[in-house]
Every structure is written in C-alpha cells, then in structure tokens.
Chains A and B, each alone.
Chain A
Amino acid sequence: MKFARDTWLIFQRQLQLLLRNPVWVFVGVFQPVMYLLLFAPLLKPALNAPTQAAAYKIFVPGLLVLLAIFGGLFQGFGLIAELRAGVIERSRVTPISRLALLLGRSLRDVVSLIVQAIIITLLALLFDLRVFIGDLLLAYLMLALIALMTSAVSYGVALKVKSEDALAPLMNTVAQPVLLLSGILLPLTFAPGWLQGVAEWNPFSWAVDGTRALFAGDLANDKVWQGLGIIAVLAAAGVFWAARQFARSVR
C-alpha cells in the first residue's frame, strides 16, 4: 500500500515535469518518424515484399522496439541532472520506498514511450498498415516491458557512473551491437548462419521476432510468449538491480 502510494507520488511528479516540457516526447519521436518516411519506402523492393503494407508489417514492429530500447537507455541522463541538483539525496533521507524512487521514474518513461508508439502506429496506418487491436495491445505490452527494463538499467548505471561523460559512450557501446544483432532494421532471416547464431543470444532479437509475429496477426506463434517471457524476466531483474542502486549510498 505504502509502496503503491510512493510509486504513484514519484510517477506523478515526473509526469508533471515531463508535461511542462512536452516537446521532448516529440523530439523522441522525430527520429523514428524520419525512418518511417525516408527509409521505409526502400523496403518493398529490398525485402521483395508483395505490397508496401507487407513491408511495413515487418519494419514498424522493429522500429517500435528500437524506440523502446533507445528511449529507455538514455533516461539516465535526466537522473544524473537530478543527482547533481541534490534531489536524489533529498529523497533518500525520507522514508520513501527506494523501489518507488526507481519505479515511479521508469513508469513515466513507459507512458511516454507508449504515447510515442501510438504516434508511430497512427502514422503507419496512413501507409496501409493494418493490425488487429488485440495483437497491437500485446505488442505494446512487449514495448512497455522493454522500456521498463532499459530505463531501469539506464538509471542504475547512471547512479553508478554519476557523470554524463561516462554514461553516453557506455550506453552507445551497449546499444549498437544490441541494435544490429536484433534484426530491427532488416529481419535476420537474411543473415548468414553465424550471425543468426549470435543473435539468438540477444534477448531483443526474441522481442523483435515476437512483436513482428503480433503485427502479422500470428498470435499462436511461439515467438510471442517466448519474447514476452524473456523480456519480462529481464525487466524484473533490471528493476531489482536498479532499485538496489537507489538504496545504496549515492550522492
């Protein structure tokens, strides 16, 4: 009860600050929109897809997962600013739940991601993308779990390194191979065997496959529950680890 109340308190505060500067939600959505408008048209011939809509069914889920990964991973920067302003220390002298300090922030990130995902989906509808609403909601659940994990990890790492200068290269170094090994831009069915083998160890590759299956309306596909399961476990682990960083002595 106290935990839920504490989480809600932090969530509200963070959302309020975000809404004061909603421009960031749109800045975040700018890059994927560019991909959608300027990169996606190449896909029909490149993928040998029968229609433009078919190409979008493959590309848009990948783009959304990309958005969730990157959107989450770079949330740590905001936390470093809070750390420097003394806001985190001020919270830590109160009896508020440490898990709530993390979760309130990460849930704000999840909400902001879902808003961005809705914007992208609506735009894709203009390009004849059609998804069954139930499948779409499950896909959003996948995205929410991904964002929860990446934002929690980003916060945890931010509390450990305590400086933007260290966080930026670190996050880029992690994000780059994760991105390339997940078949986000092009499906890994085109990849040589060894690359597919490596990608199998990348949880995000499972997430992308699962999300694609959902967009294809293939709810019965094993990839769906496998992807959701893997990401859910990792999100729980990420949240647990990051909350411990909040509980430990940080300045």
Chain B
Amino acid sequence: MIETRGLRKSFRSRQGRETKTVDAVRGVNLQVPAGEIFGFLGPNGAGKTTTLRMLATLIEPDGGEATIAGADLRKDPAEVRRRIGYVAQGGSTWDESTAREELVLHARMYGIGKADAHRRAVRALEAFQLTEYADRKCKTYSGGQRRRVEIALGIIHEPKIVFLDEPTTGLDPQSRAHMWDEIRRLRTEGMTVFITTHYLDEADALCDRIAIMDHGEVVAEGTPAELKREISGDVVLVGLDVASTPQAAELLDSEEYLNKLETVDEGGLRLYVDEGTTAIPQVLRRLDHAGLVMSSIELHRPSLDDVFLTKTGRSLRES
C-alpha cells in the first residue's frame, strides 16, 4: 500500500550568519501492506513528521521515490491526495465553525457533491459519537472531541490510507483509550492506518507493525513481538536469601534453557532465557526438588524501550 525507496529531506536553518543543513530524513525505505496499523516510533525530532508530511504531499522530498496506494508521489501528487487522508498533529479545525460545517466543507474539497457531503457528515458524526455536538462551534469542544472531529475529517472521503500524526498526544488516558478503539475501527473498515507516536505503550498495543526511527533513519522494523524477541529473550528474577543463592546458582547453571546466569548481591538470581513461560516451571521444579525456598519469582519481558536502547544506545524515555 505504501512503498518508499530512499526518501530524503534536509532543511536549511540559519543561526546568526551561519547556514546549517539539517538532514531531517536520510533515506527511508518502507513497505506497508494494506489493512494494517503501521506505527512510526521515535523521539521528537527523529524525522517522523517530516516523513509523514512528504508521504502526504505537503513537502517535496529532496530525493527518493514513493508509491502510495498505487500512485507515484513524485509524478502524480494530485492522485496521491485523492487516495489518502491526513490528520496533522497540531489540529485542523477552525474555532468559529461547527463540526458539521467542517466535515461538509472538507468532503467538498475532495470534489464530493453537496448532498453526498451532507450525508457523509451525518454518518461520520454518528460513527465518532459527535452528533450531540455537531452544530456547536469547535472552540467549545474538549480535546478528545476535537481530535475525533479531526480524524473524521481525515477519512470523510473514504481514503485507502490515513496518516495520523501523533493522534493521542495531549489526550487524557480515557480519551486515549477511546482513540485507540477508533483507530482499530478504521482498520476493521479496511483502511491502512499509518501513525506516528513517541509512546511505547501505544506502539506496542495498537500497531501491527512498527518502524523505529532515530536521527532521520529507520533503525528497526517489524511486529512489536518480533522486535522484542530479536534483542534478547526474557529475564527471570528469582528471589532467594543470600545463604541459599550459591547453591541455587550451582543447581541451575547447567540447565540447557539458560543463556546466562547472574547472581544478585542482595541474594537471588537473574536468569536470561529465550522463553520465560517455559523456563519458569522448570526453575520451580528444580529448586523445589532441592528443598530451596524462594521468596519471589518474576518474569521480565523486554519492552520496546529495550529495543530502542539496543538500536540507538539511548532510552526513548530519556530522549
């Protein structure tokens, strides 16, 4: 549905007398199949929005090619515009207009006739549970309501692909969960959804596949599960008192499911294994058999943050 090859963009910025060239996006290759929620994960300034704006025809790439929903980005941007929807990060509704007016206008900008535009607006208002506020001015809406209007605007012409730039930034947890449901609904309706996010949990819970972006490059790509599996395995933390730790270490050291074993100074073991769920029963059996008493056992699965850390050397939470 989306295919890019070597998409590049640099900006010139002036600081005093010096002109500096910033390579915002340095050669992005992507393949996004139809019908999935694809996520761009990365810190602010990683080049996610710039890439998205290029794909949405808002800025011209310096180099590279892209095919979006079958249309060539460089040769036929007008056709790309007809086939995609785009919802910007900073909002796109006018304070003095009502949701219904905005929806009708936006549909008509796509060349849809007046009567059809009104019908679509009614349907969109219902689908996004906005009917109640449809004829109030946008400035009276809550953050979550406004975001829903904006998403509704982005898909009023039933595009094949919709780009959502940080769709949940600035929303409270409840509106955020609500928004996730809306986005999943778009997928059910057969749309390909391309989102950017800097939230790890969002990428993990919402996206079918993600590309991790840093400094203008895609540093990793795959399903969240694949990416996490790729970097390490699971970690099993076994709580023991200091006295029995060495004996337990000796007992478990030769187990074949174990990749690595570390003892914890305050007592306890850190076991690196491929698959925690199968390792735990074996650990339990072994220690129980030897009559050792554990105070706790914990399974740590790698998070996307661990993936980010391995790929970039930084934690996403810090950047």
Contact = CB atoms under 8 A, between A and B. Distances in A.
A242 B57 CA distance: 19
B128 interface: no
A96 B84 CA distance: 14
Secondary structure at the A interface, as helix, strand, loop or mixed, is helix
Contacts of B106: 90, 94
Contacts of B53: 249
Contact of A249 (B58, B78, B95, B101): B58
B88 A89 contact: yes
B108 A9 contact: yes
Given A93-B86, A95-B81, A249-B59, A86 B92 contact: yes
Contact of A86 (B59, B91, B108, B109): B91
B111 A93 contact: no
A87 interface: yes
B82 interface: yes
A87 B81 contact: no
A96 B109 contact: yes
Nearest to A17: B96
Given A89-B58, A95-B110, A20 B82 contact: no
Given A95-B111, A249-B60, A90 B96 contact: no
A128 to B, nearest CB: 41
Contacts of A92: 57-58
Interface string B186-205: 00000000000000000000
A87 B60 CA distance: 20
Contacts of A9: 105, 108-109
A249 B62 CA distance: 13
Chain A interface extent, by class: 20 to 34
B37 interface: no
A13 B105 contact: yes
B81 A85 contact: no
Contacts of B108: 9
B247 interface: no
Q: Quick one: which of B95, B106, B108 has the most chain A CB within 10 A?
A: B108
Interface residues of B, number: 29
Contacts of A94: 81, 106, 109-110
B94 to A, nearest CB: 5
Interface in A168-197: none
Contacts of B105: 9, 13
Contacts of A93: 56-58, 81, 84-86
B95 A85 contact: yes
A89 B81 contact: no
Contacts of B109: 6, 9, 91, 94-96
Given A85-B93, A85-B94, A95-B82, A90 B58 contact: no
Interface string A1-37: 0100110010001001100110000000000000000
A103 B31 CA distance: 39
Contacts of A13: 105
Interface string B29-63: 00000000000000000000000010011111000
Contacts of B60: 249
A16 to B, nearest CB: 8
A20 B109 CA distance: 21
Interface string A72-109: 00000000001001110111111110000000000000
A251 B11 CA distance: 14
Interface of B: 53, 56-60, 78, 81-82, 84-86, 88, 90-97, 101, 105-106, 108-111, 153
25 contacts: A9-B105, A9-B108, A9-B109, A17-B96, A21-B96, A86-B91, A86-B93, A87-B93, A89-B92, A90-B88, A90-B153, A91-B109, A92-B58, A93-B56, A93-B84, A93-B85, A93-B86, A94-B81, A95-B109, A95-B110, A95-B111, A249-B58, A249-B59, A249-B60, A251-B58
What 4 pairs between A and B have smallest CB-CB spacing?
Answer: A86-B92, A90-B92, A94-B109, A249-B59
